[in-house]
Amino acid sequence: MPFVLPLLGAALAMISRRREAWLRVLAPLVGAGVVAAAGGLVAAVARDGVIAVQMGGWAAPLGITLVADRLSALLLVVSAAVLLAIMLHAVGEGAGGLGRHEPGLFYPAYLALTGGVCLLFLAGDLFNLFVAFEVMLASSYVLMTLTPTAERMRAGMTYTVVSLTSSILFLTALGLTYAAAGTVNLADLSVRVDALPAGTRSALGMLFLVVFGIKGAIVPMHLWLPDSYPAALTKVTAVFAALLTKAAIYALIRVQTLLFPREHGSWTMLGLAAGTMLVGTLGALTHDDIHRVFSFTLVGHIGYMLFGLGLFSVAGLTGAILYLVHHIIVQATLFLVSDLMQGRTGETSLHRLGGLARLSSFIAVLFFVPAMSVSGVPPSSGFIAKLALFQAGLGAGRPLAYAVTAVAVLASLLTLMAMSRIWTLGFWRPRPEGAAEPPAEESYTRGGVRVMQSVTAVMVVAGLLIAVFAGPLSSWSRRAAIDLLDPSAYRQAVLDGASR
């Protein structure tokens, strides 16, 4: 249902694409249905353990398998909730930023993207993992180039070329895996890969790391992201920043733990994690546009999730899962706040922003809370997730893990500097004379502004609730990490047709 509902909604939206009022009702209803279905899956997984469905009645590993375990169910419900929130924000914004006929393209493409995200978390084989990425990417091509400008089309071309390149590499890796092991079912592969020569396993593992490294913007494969995301409409960038890179990290976690398990950490991943944290956070300090600052911050914090995976321990994976949940919510919130800032001032440049704390203390609070969370200031959700990773790194007992932990602490301080810079220049100082006013087409109705502010406030509260309910969430994440390192229940649910 989380996959089928948004695709049916996208089809209905395309049929009635010229009736914007209907689309603004249909899309949130579909999103709410996806959240309800995802919540039902979480309850079912909590009760029964890993759940597998063989589509069309074809037994695994021959057919299409959909699987929900603790990791996929958790990320599915969090992603569905964030997608619904951004959709409601877009509804409140109305046609802001869109051309005359483009609402009829935005809503179907957004719902199709939702279907791709949901399929990715539930896919039980490599081919449908590839299909999920392609559904997401095909939709994101449309969303990226809405209301085309020269800058947006250039960014869209960069995004398209890089995405297609990674897709070609993914399809190549998939074909080579099938040629070597005779299957693409993840549960079946987890058994057969052990019989492959060590060199073949290493080559396949490295190829998948490159594929998902490109999609996840891991340094040095990140250069496309800061050039692409800031050019899109802010509501579109919020979706991309929250979910597209996290989907790639989820796929990397799934493939690496199921197919290429390690008794000890991966020095390659730990090295990439350190480089990603440093390059991303240093890049955030060098830019003037707040969207580019947030985009580089996004790149830097991908490194934290890679750090947890690279440790290949229960504690490390627990921290990575906590960080995924935290960052999906907080990164989306930052871009929604930036949309409110832009709507109020008409600016995204730090040199032309100023006085926002006096203009709207409410927007100032909405920015301050997630900014401190992404910086890891206690007692925020970012602090809790980072603390879990720091403890895992120090508990690994290896010099490289200690070094990457130190880099992670430094990256947190650099992130705090970047967020403080936005606060000082954008909110605290007086507004520069001669700053531009919001263009007429970007003005919203009073009711629409209230909806946008309310949705953003709910997202801020959701980030705070992660810290409030850190105990149950950490317990769930720990059990998910244990399942990742011991996939016997996953194999049994898929290959034996039973759930634990």
Give the mean model confidence (pLDDT) for residues 100-119. 87
Per-residue confidence band for 234, with pLDDT thresholds at 50, 70 and 90 = confident
Residue 264: its pLDDT value, please?
A: 67
Per-residue confidence band for 55, with pLDDT thresholds at 50, 70 and 90 = confident
Write the pLDDT tens digit of every residue in 409-466.
999 999 999 999 999 998 888 877 665 555 444 445 666 788 899 999 999 999 999 9
Q: Return the DSSP state at 426.
A: I
Using the predicted structure, report yes or no on whether residue 236 has a pLDDT greater than 80.
yes
Write the pLDDT tens digit of every residue in 143-165.
988 888 888 888 888 998 999 99
Write the pLDDT tens digit of every residue in 42-53.
999 999 999 999
Residue 266: its pLDDT value, please?
A: 83
Q: Are 4 and 53 in contact (CB under 8 A)?
A: no
Q: Across the chain, what does the average pLDDT equal?
A: 90
Write the pLDDT tens digit of every residue in 162-198.
999 999 999 999 999 999 999 999 999 999 988 899 8
Residue 441: its pLDDT value, please?
A: 41
Using the predicted structure, report yes or no on whether residue 331 has a pLDDT greater than 60.
yes
Backbone angles phi, psi at 51, to 5 degrees: -120, 130
C-alpha 473 chain-centroid distance: 18
Residue 147: its pLDDT value, please?
A: 82
Residue 437: its pLDDT value, please?
A: 57
Query: How is residue 259 written in tokens?
Result: 């197919």
How far, in Å, CA of 65 to CA of 128, rounded?
Answer: 9
Residue 440: its pLDDT value, please?
A: 45
Per-residue confidence band for 20, with pLDDT thresholds at 50, 70 and 90 = confident
Residue 498: its pLDDT value, please?
A: 40
Give the mean model confidence (pLDDT) for residues 221-233. 88
How far, in Å, CA of 375 to CA of 284, rounded?
Answer: 12
Residue 434: its pLDDT value, please?
A: 61
Residues 6 or more apart whose CB falls under 8 angstroms from that of 58 comprise: 64
Per-residue confidence band for 358, with pLDDT thresholds at 50, 70 and 90 = confident
Instruction: Specify the DSSP element, H or E, that contains 64.
Output: strand 64-68
Give the mean model confidence (pLDDT) for residues 308-337. 95
Residue 95: its pLDDT value, please?
A: 60
Between the CA of residue 203 and those of 171, 271, 301, what are the distances in Å?
15, 18, 27
- pTM of the predicted model, to two decimals? 0.93
